[in-house]
């Protein structure tokens, strides 16, 4: 039997806490405080927090998106076809987050986090779900390694490309003007990917930009599983869902 001095045990616990805090800061989990205190998988409709109005509203909006959105249905079908079926009780969680983020994907728990305190509109929850489903799809099908900065940059480029950017949003964020319509979408994608990387990882801006530039051409051209860039005020989502049947995503 090995004996542990009480003082040594206490110091070891403090060291472990520091290491966990450092790791959380490195990988972004400090942005999702509930992640640090969960001993068991937190999930959708688990009962805990039902009294929280924000949580209830968030869960209802998530359920509405899953039932009604062609794009969300397509993403869930693509994950199922790739061997990663979605159980909303297990893989989607509405939680309190840092005020600077709207959602995230936790690869350790294979779970999408919707920030119930910062994202309150169904349309915004839909955008977060789509964005994070792209990360989940990449993790499932493309062996995404979040510790690899180039891998992270690629999935952020893809998520921004497929779920976030349009010419209208680029205009609103100051990334485009009517003069450079051709480049507007790419500018938006790069800027969105950059902000996502900097929010989630402890890297410098120059490191993040270099990674984005290394992977951009290849990852910007990869439109799986949606197959097209979704334009605002169009029927692109419905068309993508209908076309998904041909690829086994229905």
pLDDT tens, 208-245? 999 999 999 999 999 999 998 887 777 888 888 888 88
pTM: 0.78
- Which of 11-25, 87-101, 155-169, 221-235 is predicted with the least confidence, judged by mean pLDDT? 11-25
Q: State yes or no: pLDDT of 51 exceeds 70.
A: no
Residue 4 lies in a domain: no
| Residue 168, pLDDT score | 46
Residue 1 lies in a domain: no
| Residue 240, pLDDT score | 87
Greater confidence (150 vs 44) lies with 150
- What is the strand order of the sheet 92-95 is part of? 92-95, 111-115, 103-106
Q: State yes or no: pLDDT of 68 exceeds 80.
A: yes
Residue 171 lies in a domain: yes
Q: Which domain holds residue 190?
A: 29-247
Average pLDDT, the chain: 79
Residue 23 lies in a domain: no
Distances (CA, A) of 72 to 94, 110, 162: 17, 17, 12
> How many domains are there within the chain?
1
Residue 231 lies in a domain: yes
Distances (CA, A) of 202 to 24, 29, 102: 10, 11, 18
Tell me the Ramachandran region of residue 105: left when phi exceeds 0, alpha when psi lies from -120 to 50, beta otherwise. Answer: beta
| Residue 52, pLDDT score | 76
The residues carrying an active-site annotation are 132
Q: Helical H runs in the chain?
A: 6-27, 53-68, 70-81, 88-91, 122-141, 149-159, 167-172, 181-200, 205-221, 236-244
Residue 11 lies in a domain: no
The residue written with tokens 């972004």 in the block is: 28
Greater confidence (50 vs 146) lies with 146
Band of residue 93 on the pLDDT scale cut at 50, 70, 90: very high
Chain-centre distance for alpha carbon 31: 13
Residue 168 lies in a domain: yes
Q: State yes or no: pLDDT of 12 exceeds 80.
A: no
Residue 238 lies in a domain: yes
- Token pair listed for 246: 């041909």
- Mean pLDDT of all residues in 11-33: 49
């Amino acid at each position: 039997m090995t004996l542990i001095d009480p003082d040594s045990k206490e110091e070891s616990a403090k060291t472990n806490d520091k290491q966990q805090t450092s790791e959380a800061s490195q990988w972004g989990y400090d942005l999702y405080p509930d992640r640090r205190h969960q001993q068991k998988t937190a999930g959708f409709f688990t009962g805990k927090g039902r009294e929280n109005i924000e949580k209830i509203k968030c869960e209802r909006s998530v359920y509405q998106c899953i039932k009604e959105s062609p794009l969300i249905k397509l993403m869930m079908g693509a994950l199922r076809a790739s061997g990663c079926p979605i159980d909303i009780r297990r893989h989607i969680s509405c939680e309190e987050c840092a005020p600077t983020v709207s959602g995230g994907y936790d690869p350790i728990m294979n779970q999408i986090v919707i920030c119930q305190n910062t994202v309150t509109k169904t349309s915004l929850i839909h955008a977060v779900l789509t964005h994070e489903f792209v990360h989940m799809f990449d993790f499932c099908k493309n062996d995404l390694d979040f510790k690899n900065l180039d891998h992270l940059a690629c999935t952020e480029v893809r998520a921004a490309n497929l779920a976030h950017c349009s010419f209208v949003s680029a205009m609103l964020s100051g990334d485009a003007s009517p003069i450079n319509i051709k480049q507007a979408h790419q500018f938006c994608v790069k800027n969105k990917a950059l902000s996502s990387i900097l929010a989630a990882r402890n890297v410098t801006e120059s490191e993040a930009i270099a990674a984005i530039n290394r992977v951009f051409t290849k990852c910007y051209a990869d439109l799986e599983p949606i197959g097209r860039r979704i334009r605002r005020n169009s029927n692109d989502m419905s068309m993508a869902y209908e076309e998904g049947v041909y690829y086994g995503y229905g």
